[in-house]
Structure 1
Amino acid sequence: MYLLTGKPEDSAYKEVRGLSRGLAVLRALNGMPGGMGGVVELARLTGLHRTTVKRLLETLRQEGLVHHKDDGAQYALSFEVRRLAEGYVGADWIDRIASPAMAAHLSALSWPSDLATPDGGFMIVRESTHRASLLSQHRATIGTRIAMLTSAIGRAWLAYCSDEEREATLSLLRERSDAIGAVARDKAYVGRVLRETRRRGYAVNKGELANEESVAAIAFPIRLRGHAIGAINLVLQRNVVPDREISSRYVPLLRILAEEISVGATRLSQRGDPS
């Protein structure tokens, strides 16, 4: 769904292939409906041989991370996977404000939303309703890196963040030698995108992400003390929802959600910095 680029820096330590493969299976299983799938499907998604996938699944089952479904034909994530995340501490405003607000507004919006914050020149998805939305084409997006200048969610943050953060982000992107860097160095393009976003009051994307020509997205900034600390989008199918309906129906609904999160984050900051 999103433009994923970049790889982790080379490490002085050799990769433990078995662990990497096991994690690949867990990630693939997590992205399947209901967190459940079979060996053949998982082999196709991970690019691993079916025998390897079966062996990994059985190892994960012995560790209590997956369990059998449908007389062993399917595997499903177990509660133990969730237990592994108990030590993770997310940004307070996302966990306490954004997450429940997004869940509460899902019935009105219907289409899935992502909430993302900036990191290393990309927007990183921190919360999402893709798994809960019946209209989602992608089941797992949390942790996904989204291109800053060609996505609605990136444009929304970049247009409303502080001047210092904007320049630091653009400087980082300009140093890249790939297509992302070329876009960032096009000052006329960047200026036009930011001006249009501010004039409109929200950001848009109409099939500009790689391999997502059928997708449209709108996004609003999440603000704290006048500057964006993140952004929230709404992802729709262009051939299903016309532009007029997006602007007349979904823009006001998403604006309400963004403002609710911004107000909640601001109130929370009065008792401690949520960022």
Structure 2
Amino acid sequence: MTELKNRSLDRGIDVLETLSRNGACSLADLHRHTGLAKSTLRRLLGTLLERHIVRQSPGDKLFRSNVIFPPGSDAPQALELEMLLDRAMPVLSDLTSRLGWPSDIHIVSGSKMRIVESTRPLSPYRLNHGFVNRVINIFGSATGSACLAAMPNQTIADHHTATLDDTTWGLKRFGMTLDTYLRRIEDVREAGYGTRLSDYLGETVLDDGLAAMAVPVFLNNWPSAAITLIWPRSFKSPADFAAMHLQDLKETAVQISNAFAGIGPEGPEELDRLPDQPENNIE
């Protein structure tokens, strides 16, 4: 019996397995790992990109897989993330085009935040490029505080318990108790946007000199992601910057949340604002 085998399909699976095993890759990385000619890889990637099985980040130009492999594979990207980015990036690119300032997309990843995309390369301001897939502190970051502020206090307490005594990812890093942090979250809720803790400089070795303002994006009615606007700290205080651009950022977040939910501009159930704040009592 003649063995049935599709050579192109087999090579495409090799590319997906390589991305799953090694994470984000450049064309040169894929060539080195698979041994396939770059011309072949370009054709395969063209099809995979068109079918949304693979994505190429504008932030770092690297390729990433969007498929879920069987258990035991190295942390591939979920298809839901590709759906978010498909809907968010055109809107965020337009925001950066209008305001000039760049925006990052972060998602809640366990009790951390993870950077998944950025418009920094599209901004006329030469700010430090973020690192896609970098994990950052949920309590100290602007996006983390924006997402947590949209969650019930009990959920915040659960994140605190999960990182208790962790000097990198928990509140202990900032010398804060849960009660102290919840008081800060009330300020975030009142302001309508998240900012970095004053003593949180990110996960880089050196201070990047940047400030960030963030609001949540709702996926399946839960604040699973957040978008930012980023600027040099020396330019404006967060309050002054928010007075200029918070409304634009909130409208963008609502547009992304609606698009993810499949609500068009004329949809009768379209949100015109972010959802109300959650019940704040810890049970």
- More moved, 176-185 vs 188-197: 176-185
Q: Residue 157 of structure 1 aligns to which amino acid in structure 2? A: C
**Structure 1 residue 166 displacement after superposition:** 2.8
2:181 — aligned with what? 190
Percent identity between matched residues is 20
Q: 2:91 aligns with which of 101, 104, 112?
A: 101
**Structure 1 residue 111 displacement after superposition:** 1.6
2:201 — aligned with what? 209
2:218 — aligned with what? 223
Distance 2:43 2:240 in 1: 40
2:103 — aligned with what? 113
- DSSP-derived class of the 1:267 partner: coil
Q: Kindly indicate whether the alpha-carbon contact (under 8 Å) linking 1:161 and 1:229 is maintained by their aligned counterparts in 2.
A: no
Q: Residue 147 of structure 1 aligns to which amino acid in structure 2? A: N
**Structure 1 residue 188 displacement after superposition:** 3.2
Q: Kindly indicate whether the alpha-carbon contact (under 8 Å) linking 1:112 and 1:136 is maintained by their aligned counterparts in 2.
A: no
Q: After the TM superposition, which residues 1-275 of structure 1 pair with which residues of structure 2 at under 5 Å, given as runs? A: 59=32, 63-64=36-37, 86=54, 87-88=65-66, 89-91=79-81, 93-163=83-153, 165-178=155-168, 180-183=170-173, 186-205=177-196, 208-210=200-202, 211-212=206-207, 214-224=209-219, 227-243=222-238, 245-267=240-262
**Structure 1 residue 134 displacement after superposition:** 2.8
Q: For 1:60-91, what per-residue CA distance to the aligned partner results, in whole angstroms no more than 9, with x for missing partners?
A: 7975469xxxxxxxxxx978777686252343
- DSSP-derived class of the 1:231 partner: strand
CA change 1:120–1:79 in 2 (3 A) is farther
- Return 5+ residue gaps in structure 1 as ranges: 1-18, 37-55, 67-76, 271-275
2:76 — aligned with what? none
Structure ranking higher in helix proportion: 1
**Structure 1 residue 220 displacement after superposition:** 0.3
Distance 1:181 1:105 in 2: 33
Larger relative contact order (CA 8 Å, sep ≥ 6): 1
**Structure 1 residue 201 displacement after superposition:** 0.9
Q: Kindly indicate whether the alpha-carbon contact (under 8 Å) linking 1:65 and 1:80 is maintained by their aligned counterparts in 2.
A: no
- DSSP-derived class of the 2:234 partner: coil
Aligned residues: 216
Distance 2:38 2:240 in 1: 43
Q: Kindly indicate whether the alpha-carbon contact (under 8 Å) linking 1:174 and 1:182 is maintained by their aligned counterparts in 2.
A: yes
Q: Kindly indicate whether the alpha-carbon contact (under 8 Å) linking 2:195 and 2:238 is maintained by their aligned counterparts in 1.
A: no
**Structure 1 residue 236 displacement after superposition:** 0.9
